[in-house]
Amino acid sequence: MTVRYAAPGRINLIGEHTDYNLGWALPIALPQRTVVTFEPSDADAITVSSDRVDGSVRIPLRTKPGEVTGWAGYVAGVVWALRGSGHAVSGGTMSISSDVEMGSGLSSSAALECAALGAFVTAAGWHIDRLEQELDGFNAALPPLKDFILPGGGPAAAACHVARAVCRRAERRCWSLARAESVAPAALTYLNRLSDLLFVLARVLARSAGGSEVIWRRRAPKTDA
């Protein structure tokens, strides 16, 4: 399996270095991106290469802060943080390409970290497991669905229905893209389960607001008088 993940560079109109101190910030994503291609394997390390430097760097899965320096240290930091949170990271090879300028205040290091994190999470399918757990929890409190439901049931429930429609559209476009490009299977599964979660959440919100679900009823055929 090959996972490709991208993250943009950014500029801060206000709030440089205040976002992680609970301060105000107004960042804007840039079209320039850092793209990570990750191929997981059973190796005990991640071999990382970049289109900006020659050679590669080996990052042990049990890396500690300070063991890996330079640009690869940002990837090593993501590996260390994930393992410290109880998430197992698989070994493999990772290649990095980027058109975000380094050292110019465009958050090239943050783009690298976010792209690496996205690749690790997608490869492991962690988000999918969490969505399944949320689905099971919400469904347990709902009666079985025997009819089609129309979007509605209150503002919050209606917003979930709209979000579900957008998610379904994204899923269809990803399947179309998969006919021509390599798309991670976990991404397709994630979109599918997310749309189901939004539908179930709309049902929960409609009921918690004291309203009822809007059931679709077939119209009686018109007859000539």
CATH 1.20.1200.10 given to domain 127-215:
yes
* Higher-scoring residue by pLDDT: 51, 87: 51
Q: How many residues does the chain have?
A: 225
- What is the predicted pLDDT for the residue at 220? 66
74-127 tens-digit pLDDT: 999 999 988 887 778 899 999 999 999 888 888 899 899 999 998 998 888 776
- Predicted model pTM: 0.60
Neighbouring residues of 94: CB distance < 8 A, sequence distance ≥ 6:
36, 37, 38, 39, 46, 47, 48, 49, 75, 116, 119
Instruction: For CATH 3.30.230.10, list the domain ranges present in the chain.
Output: 3-124
212-224 tens-digit pLDDT: 666 777 776 666 6
The band of 62, judged by pLDDT with boundaries at 50, 70 and 90, is very high
Count of C-beta atoms within a 10 Å radius of residue 8:
19
Instruction: For CATH 1.20.1200.10, list the domain ranges present in the chain.
Output: 127-215
Domain at 3-124: CATH code: 3.30.230.10
- What is the predicted pLDDT for the residue at 181? 84
